[in-house]
A and B are shown apart, each in its own frame.
Chain A
Amino acid sequence: MPSPTSDVQADAAIIRRVAEGDARACRQLVDELLPAIVGFSYRMLGDGGAAEDVAQEAFLRLWCQAPKWRAAARVTTWLYRVAHNLCIDRIRARRDVPVADVPEVADPADGPLIHRHRREVSELVDAAIAGLPERQRVAITLVHYQELGNLGAAAVMEISVEALESLLARGRRALRNTLSKQRRDLLGDLK
C-alpha cells in the first residue's frame, strides 16, 4: 500500500502538470474525482444541479490553485474540503433543502411496482440523511458513501478521528431510529 506521503507527492506531481497546462493531467483529475465530488455534494444538498455547480466551482478553484500548490494534502482531501465548505454555505443560505427531486432512471428490467418501491425507499433514506445535523451528515457521507476512511474524512472535516467516530455513531443511531419508525412496513424492523 502506498504511504500517505507518497500519495501526497504523486498528487503534487500531477498538479504540477496541470499548472504546466497538460491536458491529460486535467482530464485524469476530472475523470477520477468529479464523480466523487458530485456524489458527495448531491448527498449534502439533495439536488443534482446544485451538486454539479459545487463540483464545477471546486475544480475551477483547483485550476487556480495549481500554480501555487503546496504538497501538504492530497488533492482528494482538498477538493472534498472545498466542496464541503461550498455545500455548507448553500445549506446555510437556504435552510430547507429539497431532497431527491432528481428523477431516477428506471431499470427497464424492473416492473413498475418494484421501481416504485425502490424509489420510495430511496426517498425515505435520502430524507432521513437530509434530516441529520450538518456535521453528522458530512461524516456519514464521507465515510459510508464516499468510502474516504477515517483519516481522510477527519482531514476533510478538520477534526480528530475520535470526534469523527462520535459524529458517525450519533448519526447512524439517529438514522436507525428514524428509518425504523418510518419504514416498518417496507423494510422490516431495523434492530
Chain B
Amino acid sequence: MTERRTMDIARAHQLLDAYGADPACWPAAERIALSEFIAESPEAARVRARAATLDHVLNQAGTYAPSDRVRAQILAAAPIRSDDWLDGMRAAFGSLWRPAAVLAFSLVVGIGLGIMNPVFEPEDEEIALLVLGPGWDETQ
C-alpha cells in the first residue's frame, strides 16, 4: 500500500492530474479521502471535471480484441499432459465443436429422412414448376 497522505488541494491536483477523474483509477489508499475532499472543494471539483473531459476523449481510442487464431495457437503450445488431450483440444478448438456437432446432427437427420421417405421422381412439369416457379406456363 502507498503511504496515506493528508489530502489538500495540492495533493488533489496531483492525483487528478495523474490518474484522471475515475475513482477506480485512484490509489486505493487515498480514494475515500479524495472523494470527500472533492465533495467539499469547488476547486477540486473543477479540476476533476477537467480531468473527466480528457478521460472521455482518451476513451475514444481504438481497441483491438485477440483473434480466435492466436488463442488457439497459444493453447496448442501449452504444456498440456497427454492424458488431458481431449480437454486440451476443447481448449484450443472449443469454438469449432458446436458447429461440428450441428453439422453431424444435420447429416444424420438427412440420411434418416432419405432412408425413410419413398423415392421421389418428379415429372417434367413438376421440375419446371420447381425451377421456374408458379406461372411458368403462362407465357407459353
Say whether B2 contacts A34, CB under 8 Å: no
Q: Does B81 contact A (CB under 8 A)?
A: yes
B96 at the interface (CB under 8 A from A): no
**Cross-chain contact B81 with A20 (CB below 8 angstroms):** yes
Q: Check if A21 sits within 8 Å of B18, measured CB to CB.
A: no
Rounded to whole angstroms, the CA-CA distance of A123 and B80 in the bound complex is: 41
Complex Cα–Cα for A128 and B64 (A): 17
> Contact partner of B79 among A21, A56, A126, CB < 8 A?
A21
Chain A, 128-150, CB within 8 A of any chain B CB: 129, 140, 143-145, 147, 149-150
Which residues of chain A are near B18, meaning CB under 8 Å?
164-166, 168-169, 172
> Are B61 and A43 touching (Cβ within 8 A)?
yes
Segment of A58-66, A89-97, A108-116 engaged in the interface with chain B? A58-66
Main secondary structure of the interface of B (DSSP, over half): helix
Q: Say whether A98 faces chain B, with CB atoms less than 8 Å apart.
A: no
Interface residue stretch chosen among A24-32, A70-78, A80-88: A24-32
A39 proximity list for chain B (CB < 8 A): 63-65
- Of the candidate stretches B33-41, B47-55, B116-124, B128-136, the one touching chain A is B47-55
Min C-beta distance of A21 to chain B, whole Å: 3
Q: Which residues of B contact A22 (CB under 8 A)?
A: 80-81, 84
Known contacts A21-B79, A51-B64, A144-B20, A125 near B2 by CB under 8 Å: no
- Specify which chain B residues have a CB less than 8 angstroms from the CB of A60 in the assembled complex: 74, 77
Q: Is the CB of A122 within 8 A of B60?
A: yes
Please report the C-alpha to C-alpha distance between residue A164 and residue B54 in the assembled complex, in whole angstroms: 19
Interface residues of B in 14-38 (CB under 8 A from A): 14-15, 17-20, 24-25, 27-28
B62 contacts A122, C-beta separation under 8 Å: yes
Residue of B nearest to A59 (CB): B74
Q: Is the CB of B80 within 8 A of A34?
A: no
Residue of B nearest to A99 (CB): B62
A168-B16 Cα distance, complex, nearest whole Å: 10
In the complex, the answer to whether B77 meets A144 with C-beta atoms within 8 Å is no
Q: Interface digits, B57-79 against A, CB 8 Å rule (1 contact, 0 not)?
A: 11011111111001101110111
CB of B4 to closest CB in A, whole Å: 13
- Across the interface, do A161 and B62 meet the contact criterion of CB distance under 8 Å? no
A23 touches B88 (CB 8 A): yes
A-B interface, 10 closest residue pairs, ranked by CB to CB distance from nearest = A21-B81, A23-B87, A42-B64, A168-B18, A26-B78, A27-B91, A38-B66, A23-B88, A125-B61, A52-B70
Contacts beyond the supplied A42-B64, A165-B19: 10 A-B pairs with Cβ under 8 Å: A22-B81, A26-B79, A30-B75, A34-B66, A51-B64, A121-B60, A123-B62, A145-B58, A161-B27, A168-B18
**What would be 29 A-B contacts, judged by CB atoms less than 8 Å apart?**
A19-B79, A22-B80, A23-B87, A24-B87, A26-B78, A30-B91, A35-B66, A39-B65, A42-B62, A43-B61, A48-B64, A52-B66, A59-B74, A66-B79, A122-B60, A123-B62, A126-B62, A144-B58, A147-B25, A150-B2, A150-B19, A150-B27, A161-B2, A165-B18, A168-B18, A175-B54, A176-B54, A179-B57, A190-B54
